[in-house]
Amino acid sequence: MFRKIAILATALLTALPASAEEIHLKMWTLVDRDTPYREQNIVDAAKVLNAEYKAAGIDKTIVIDVNRGNQKGWDAYALDMLKAFAVKQGPDIYTLPHEWIGKFAENGYAMNMEAAIAARPWAFNDVLPNLWESVRASDGKIHGVPQDAEIRMFFYNKDMLRKIGKDEAFIDGLPAAVERGDFTLDDLTALAKEVKDKGAAEYGMLHRPNVGIDYLMVFKSFGVKFVDPKTGKLMLPKKEMQNALAWYETNAKEGVTPIDNTAMSWDAIKTAFKQEKAFIFHQGVWAVAWQTGDALGVSWPKDEAGYTHKIGWLPAPAAVKGGKPANLSHPIIYAINPGTKYPDVAADLVAIATTPYFNVRHAVISNHTAITHAETALPAYKANWVVSLASPMMEGADFVPNNPQFSDYNKVLFTGLQAVETGKMTAAQAVGFIADELDLQLGDAVEIHDSAAE
């Protein structure tokens, strides 16, 4: 595999000046102690290429200069990156939350990767097909490479279902019923209410208390489209949005979700689920780490058999019988500066970092799902039962729009959701509020439609 890289590198480096003994490439990422391999895989990929150069008699060495940003979150990091590129100080290779790729591509800061991908089938042909949609910009072209993936789910406590008399066939059959479209979001509400009303849980269902993307799965299930496929602009389909908000409104009125869910702290929410006061908790696969950890006042089974006997996972059920469930992933991606002096070397490094051996190191240490099919067969990946069980849920996963303004859109949406749950607005009133705020804040960047079917 890497012999092909050496041949490519040989052709490239023969054109370099004789004085260029070291090839320095800047690699930037956001600091995260739980994900060291985002940058380390690029550093180690350089070691592979350097070994190939040496074997081929090429007297050149790649040096990766890593910069770990300490911004508070990915959006702040992306904005600082834009400023660096604007003054021609951008890195050669960098990580990015996928929704920013459109902005970077439009500004000429993210290389069109389609030719580089086609030239390296040994690395890129096995990437999960839907993941390529996460790096497609408004020009329809691929401008990055998925670095990782993750999946969201509703966690439900099987022991509580046993307490209210549900048999094992029903309990273990819930995921299949959701996949078939036989078990809907309204059925989930009814089940959570039954668990609470019969005293098996204090809370029927909890979700994140702040802005994020977990809850957008529900909006997807109700047919909300956040992008107009004809124009590529952000859109608000009022009918579908109201139906989704009405589901949250019902949950609050029925006592399934507490009206102060969005005022609760993360610790309170996690503790409620871990101490078995809540039947359902909605977040992502990485939450298994604290669920099986020793914190929050109680210990749960750490082995696959023990955990899966206690806890089950569901995508967002369909809104109507016979519909399809919804799921979301939020990949972090690699992108390359079109102005780099060494585009082929940068592409080689990203390709090597994408191969199963390297990417699985990141996946298993950070509880991220595989980006390639082959990765799931590696012993280290299979030994991590959490990501192994989560991988099949990636098949139908979708992504938030590759539009940085969606962050502002989502903040407005969450404010509407919060107003509905607290009883300050009805679902209809919240849709009107969201429409007015989006028009005020984003103007023509958002299209307001009566329905997504228009």
**Mean pLDDT value across residues 132-153:** 94
Instruction: State the pLDDT at residue 452.
Output: 84
Choice among 167-181, 224-238, 264-278 with the minimum mean pLDDT: 224-238
Asked if 39 and 68 touch (Cβ cutoff 8 Å), the reply is yes
19 and 113 in a single domain? The answer is yes
Instruction: State the pLDDT at residue 12.
Output: 46
Give 75-141 as a DSSP string.
HHHHHHHHHHHHTT---SEEEEEGGGHHHHHHTT-S---HHHHHT-HHHHTTB-GGGGGGGB-TTSS
Q: How does pLDDT run across 189-200, given as a tens digit for each residue?
A: 999 999 999 999
Q: How does pLDDT run across 338-379, given as a tens digit for each residue?
A: 999 999 999 999 999 999 999 999 999 988 999 999 999 999
- Give the closest residue to 120 by CA, choosing from 99, 101, 142: 142
264 and 346 in a single domain? The answer is no
Is 444 within the bounds of a domain? yes
Residue range of the domain that includes 103? 2-146+330-394
11 and 106 in a single domain? The answer is yes
**Mean pLDDT value across residues 87-114:** 96
Residue 395 has pLDDT above 90, yes or no: no
Residue 2 has pLDDT above 90, yes or no: no
Strands 22-30 and 61-69: parallel
The CATH number assigned to the domain holding 95 equals 3.40.190.10
**Mean pLDDT value across residues 5-25:** 54
Residue 30 has pLDDT above 90, yes or no: yes
284 and 345 in a single domain? The answer is no
Q: Which token pair is 224?
A: 């909300």
Is 176 within the bounds of a domain? yes
Instruction: State the pLDDT at residue 19.
Output: 45
Mean pLDDT across the chain, nearest whole number? 92
Residue 332 has pLDDT above 80, yes or no: yes
Q: Phi/psi at 17 (nearest 5 deg)?
A: -60, 150
pLDDT interval class at 117 (50, 70, 90): very high
16 and 161 in a single domain? The answer is no
pLDDT interval class at 230 (50, 70, 90): confident
Structural domains in the chain (count): 2
**pTM confidence score:** 0.89
88 and 237 in a single domain? The answer is no
312 and 431 in a single domain? The answer is yes
Asked if 238 and 449 touch (Cβ cutoff 8 Å), the reply is yes
Is 454 within the bounds of a domain? no
